[in-house]
Amino acid sequence: MPSSWPLDGRTILLTRPEEESAALAARLRSLGARVEIEPVLAFESLASTGEALAAARNVARYEVLMFTSANGVRFFLEALGLAGRVPADVTGKIGAVGPGTAKALGEAGLAVGVVAADSRAEGLVEALGAEVSPGARVLWARAESARDVLPRKLREAGATIDEVRLYRTVASPLAARAAAALARAEVDAVVFASPSALRHLLDGAGAGRRATEEGLRRVRRVAIGSVTAAALLSAGFPPAAVASSPTDEGLESAILRSFAD
């Protein structure tokens, strides 16, 4: 392997599930990196709850539907199916945060009206603009632990918003392996795609949490966006680099920047 490859000899730890990490892993390996995929969290569906089913059965009443993650799209589609509805029953304007979410919606046959360039919830509110008018009925397909910025701003604009909790994050059994790899100084950089990834990583360390924290301070920490970066900073692990966009390309560029010093 040519030593001139930019990530030659570097080991990168990816903490998202395999299906979400495969493309980025391939890109990093093509640059010479050794890549370890150890998901620190998993997703638990809430699509069969009364809240989710009621929203899905009455989906045609929403003038605006907002999606802030591809997982929100996945579990929304599950709720539709359980409620006996199909994507064609969605008639409202659809807003998405980031290209990954927009791609998931498009693959499901849902036409995206607005894609927020800003990967935060605030960006989606700004991008929707006049679509969220006073009195508008809005559905937000969300995670159980999502921030409250989006609904607060929409209510300030006079909209009626139904926050539909469609999934929650739970610790993956593999979180302990990721924690141990950091404690043993086996990686050079670790990539975080959400604030909850950091929480589940440290929880997965168990009795070895202090060693994992020490290992985390030694490596390059890369964040997918500003919200994740803020969570890392607040926990005492400031990121070495933050992706300029929540995409594989953005993360690849951020990883390369983290090793530039």
pLDDT digits (tens, 9 = 90+) for 38-94: 999 989 999 999 999 999 999 999 999 989 889 999 999 999 999 999 999 999 999
Q: What is the CATH number of the domain that holds 128?
A: 3.40.50.10090
Q: What is the mean pLDDT of residues 215-220?
A: 96
Q: Is the pTM of this model over 0.75?
A: yes
Say if residue 178 is in the same domain as residue 240: yes
Q: What is the mean pLDDT of residues 120-139?
A: 72
Say how many domains are in the chain.
2
Say if residue 17 is in the same domain as residue 60: no
Confidence of residue 136 (pLDDT cuts 50, 70, 90): confident
Domain enclosing residue 90, as ranges? 52-169
Q: What is the mean pLDDT of residues 155-161?
A: 80
Within-domain flag for 3: no
Say if residue 145 is in the same domain as residue 178: no
Say if residue 63 is in the same domain as residue 164: yes
Q: What angle do CA 95, 100, 103 make, to 5 degrees?
A: 70
Confidence of residue 1 (pLDDT cuts 50, 70, 90): very low
- For residue 121, what pLDDT is reported? 62
Within-domain flag for 234: yes
User: Given its phi and psi angles, is residue 122 left (phi above 0), alpha (psi -120 to 50 degrees) or beta?
Assistant: alpha
Query: Is 98 in a helix, a strand, or coil?
Result: helix
Within-domain flag for 72: yes
